[in-house]
Structure 1
Amino acid sequence: MDSARSVLGYETTGCGRQIDMRRRLRIVHVITRLINGGADENTVHACNWAAQGGHDVVLLHGETVQPKIMAKVDPRVKLIGVPGLTRSISPVSDVRALFALIRRFRALKADIVHTHTSKAGILGRFAAWAAGVPAIVHGVHIVPFVNVGVAERFTYLALEKLAAPVTNAFISVSAGIRDLCLSAGMGRPDKHYVVHSGFDLDRFRNAVPPDDWRELLRLTPDAPRPPVLLMMAAFEPRKRHREFLDVFEKVEVRLPDAVLVLAGDGPLRSAIESRAKCLGLERQVVFTGYRDDPERLIALADLCLLCSMREGLPRVVMQYLAGGKPCVACDLPGLREVLRPGINGVITPTHDLAAMADAIAALLEDRERLTCLAQGAAATDLSNWDARLMGKRIDAIYRKVLDQHRANKGASTRRPVRNIALPR
């Protein structure tokens, strides 16, 4: 008998396999790529938590990976690359990846498949359904049909609606994202849950600036400390680094000594560096590349930024606030759950980066207001973003979904749990 692992009892799957739910579960996560982004780190946290709790965890990933995030994966988590699983739409590669996933799920005898991000979510859920996986969970880190073209919106909505009936649970990173999914007709309300993307809060609350901060900002030994702006984001189109540099002159004119620190890496980094040179911003803009000490960069900053046009509820905003730094961000679904204008930051219109630049300059010129917002940031209740709580809530959802599956199969007289309370 091949066993899975939890604490609920026994059931028989559609393949005739009996699951001992008092033991460990075999959980398979699927993500398109593993880079240093919020969704990727969220996935790694979820994998590590389950593995540390005694579950058998496998992480299937696409062809794009970065060694630094791979190194963060717990050694107990098995990493497997999936041929053809890429972020961009490619019919030939997508069909190849779909069949590769079906074979993997069958070979692994997965009890739960938990998919992440849009592309892996579509292919992974259909593959899990075809393989007869008992429980299929989809993590919604970003809504792919917001702030995109008409054709792209139609395609994603159509595919999401097709995948919804085979999805046992949706886990959104914010209430705003959940509400957008429901309004678009993606699944029933009782299948949707909100679990905030957790991280180590204490690491950010107790951080100090890097020891080499003067060298980082390219300052001479006797130069005064300038106002420091920080944006931590992968260099990809939806983060809008280039567009922000094009309006940064509004800040530079009013505060010529201000330094903008852009932390992160990605496919557009070299192009953004070239753009900064073309605009004559070599002195004002610092590119740090990937850093494994983001909390220390936040401790160095006076004001933190995010100008993405499409996100879920970006965990980096919570990291800014945990570090006691106010944030100026473009309006995003779910953002107002934690970023409160006039209390701990400023929210500007999504399609008006010039307004964002004006707001940044105004804040840096008003040190008293900036200090008040910093105090508000430090006082923000971020307990829902504790990494341990995230793991407990996801585990509770897994247990509920498996209990419902068992009840639906009629393998037990146990009454299904219909309104499970997530851990607080």
Structure 2
Amino acid sequence: MRSRMTSAPANTRRRGQTTRTRFITKKRIRVCHVITQLELGGAQDNTLTTVERLPAEHYETHLISGPGGLLDDRARRLGERYRVAPHLARPVCPWRDVAAFLELKRLFRTGRYDIVHTHSSKAGVLGRLAARAAGVPLIFHTAHGWGFHAGQPAPVRSLFVWCERVSSRVTDRIVAVSEATVRNGLAAGVGRPAQYRMIRSGIDPRPYREATDVASIRHKMGFDPARPLITMVACLKPQKSPLDFIDLAARVRSKLPGVQFALAGDGELRVPIEASIERNRLGDTVRLLGWRSDIPDLIRASDLTVLTSRWEGLPRVFLESLAAGVPVIATRVDGGPEAVTDGVNGFLFPPGDTPAMAQRVIELMENPAGRSALREGARSSWKDDFDIRHMVGQIDRLYQERVSGVFTRT
């Protein structure tokens, strides 16, 4: 049964603020999270984990996504709390996007949600506008990383920035996964400083801290236990620039032919990557592992992890590597420096500077003592706010703050 709540008195509202009729559950707050697609990635895993772990005594938490994600089966375990919006998809398609907007608006109205919380760019724009049109009292958005970046053509970037600016006007709070995400959003004119709350993406560190029999894990995965292993975990899409990883592997192999490389993930760039491996004669050096469910084992069995991204929010693999005590060699983008410090737990480089990254990998592979110091630095760099339990707790606290600040009981 739902008890009526009233918004704050008119004289306490900001000038020009739209009045919305507000409802909330008597015992539990109804929350709906929305994400474009449940592909295998940090934003998707964190969204699902939030839905699964928000306290059931306080929340009735639902999830909506577009179809076709590798995590769909996990979402189906939510039962009736999971819904698919058939037209919600990443590519821009006007008729399909209008259909997705109408689907979301209908689902929000029938669900009578107190909070809608969106994730990812497409779901973030359509979901927030649909939530406002459906009269949802509180609207949140998590920026896991902005959909606009310097590498885009100017008209495309301008369009994406404009969409985020419009959406921010109907957003109560923007959750940013890093300080850099806040800075980049404000610099682009997205939202006001008071709208932002920084809550880092989190992981469960425990699987990465288990005792490691490196030789056994490598043998089980088909790697030579006696050869060094360097790993990149990423979706094979332009954002992650995985072809740079193949270039790095070729440069390292020319100096250290005994090093082996693992690329875990899949995506649209797989065919060009396979062609690059063949062209560089790296068939006995680089293995494409596809999507894996044993990432903790893979990272614990690695000497180094690498990430060649052109833009990010806060890379999940950084946190996984720190939890496992594995040094990181990566690009210096967005929230990366908030987790990786040069010479302490890894090294960061300008995006695209694969020669420098490869040279640093070579130096570390030739310097076991230096690599050991970085491993210790990685372990000691772990912060509590990288823990998934802290992340969910902060989201819970944010919801409670906004609910108590907006609603009054009658």
Query: Shift of residue 55 of structure 1?
Result: 1.8
The residue aligned with 1:203 is 207
Return the alpha-carbon distance in structure 2 between the equivalents of residues 184 and 389 of structure 1: 29
Q: What CA deviation, in whole Å up to 9, does each residue of 1:98-155 have, x standing for no partner?
A: 1111111001001100000111100000000000100000000012222332122101
The residue aligned with 1:7 is none
The residue aligned with 1:2 is 2
The residue aligned with 2:16 is none
Return the alpha-carbon distance in structure 2 between the equivalents of residues 263 and 50 of structure 1: 30
AA partner of residue 372 (structure 1)? A
Q: Residue 349 of structure 1 contacts residue 355 of structure 1 at CA under 8 Å; is this kept in 2?
A: no
AA partner of residue 166 (structure 1)? V
* SS of alignment partner, residue 64 of structure 1: coil
* SS of alignment partner, residue 341 of structure 1: coil
TM-score (norm 1): 0.88
Query: Shift of residue 34 of structure 1?
Result: 0.2
Query: Shift of residue 17 of structure 1?
Result: 6.1
- Residue among 19, 23, 33 paired with 2:24: 19
The residue aligned with 1:102 is 105
* SS of alignment partner, residue 174 of structure 2: strand
Q: Residue 11 of structure 1 contacts residue 406 of structure 1 at CA under 8 Å; is this kept in 2?
A: yes
Q: What CA deviation, in whole Å up to 9, does each residue of 1:189-224 have, x standing for no partner?
A: 1110111111111221125248452253443xxxx6
Return the alpha-carbon distance in structure 2 between the equivalents of residues 302 and 205 of structure 1: 15
The residue aligned with 2:227 is 226
Return the alpha-carbon distance in structure 2 between the equivalents of residues 74 and 52 of structure 1: 15
Return the alpha-carbon distance in structure 1 between the equivalents of residues 115 and 283 of structure 2: 49
The residue aligned with 2:123 is 120
Structure 2 CA distance for partners of 1:236 and 1:353, relative to 1, 3 Å: same
The residue aligned with 2:62 is 58
Q: Percent identity?
A: 33
Q: Residue 232 of structure 2 contacts residue 262 of structure 2 at CA under 8 Å; is this kept in 1?
A: yes
* SS of alignment partner, residue 34 of structure 1: coil
Query: Shift of residue 70 of structure 1?
Result: 3.2
The residue aligned with 1:347 is 348
Return the alpha-carbon distance in structure 2 between the equivalents of residues 308 and 321 of structure 1: 18
Query: Shift of residue 406 of structure 1?
Result: 2.4
AA partner of residue 63 (structure 1)? P
The residue aligned with 2:35 is 31
The residue aligned with 2:13 is none
What is the alpha-carbon root mean square deviation over aligned residues?
Answer: 2.2
Question: What are the residue-to-residue correspondences of 1:115-194 with 2, within 5 Å?
Answer: 115-149=118-152, 150-194=154-198
The residue aligned with 2:221 is 216
Q: Residue 24 of structure 2 contacts residue 30 of structure 2 at CA under 8 Å; is this kept in 1?
A: no
Query: Shift of residue 53 of structure 1?
Result: 4.8
* SS of alignment partner, residue 65 of structure 1: coil
Structure 1: where are the runs of 5+ without partners?
5-9, 413-424
Structure 2: where are the runs of 5+ without partners?
9-18
Return the alpha-carbon distance in structure 2 between the equivalents of residues 144 and 263 of structure 1: 23
The residue aligned with 2:326 is 325
* 2:294 is the alignment partner of 1:301: no
Q: Residue 247 of structure 2 contacts residue 354 of structure 2 at CA under 8 Å; is this kept in 1?
A: no
Query: Shift of residue 263 of structure 1?
Result: 1.1
Structure 2 CA distance for partners of 1:288 and 1:386, relative to 1, 3 Å: same
Q: What CA deviation, in whole Å up to 9, does each residue of 1:143-183 have, x standing for no partner?
A: 22223321221011111111111000000111111111122
- Residue among 75, 79, 86 paired with 2:78: 75
Return the alpha-carbon distance in structure 2 between the equivalents of residues 90 and 139 of structure 1: 23
* 2:259 is the alignment partner of 1:258: yes
Q: Residue 23 of structure 2 contacts residue 114 of structure 2 at CA under 8 Å; is this kept in 1?
A: no
Query: Shift of residue 402 of structure 1?
Result: 2.1
Q: Residue 147 of structure 1 contacts residue 309 of structure 1 at CA under 8 Å; is this kept in 2?
A: no
* SS of alignment partner, residue 203 of structure 2: coil
AA partner of residue 2 (structure 2)? D
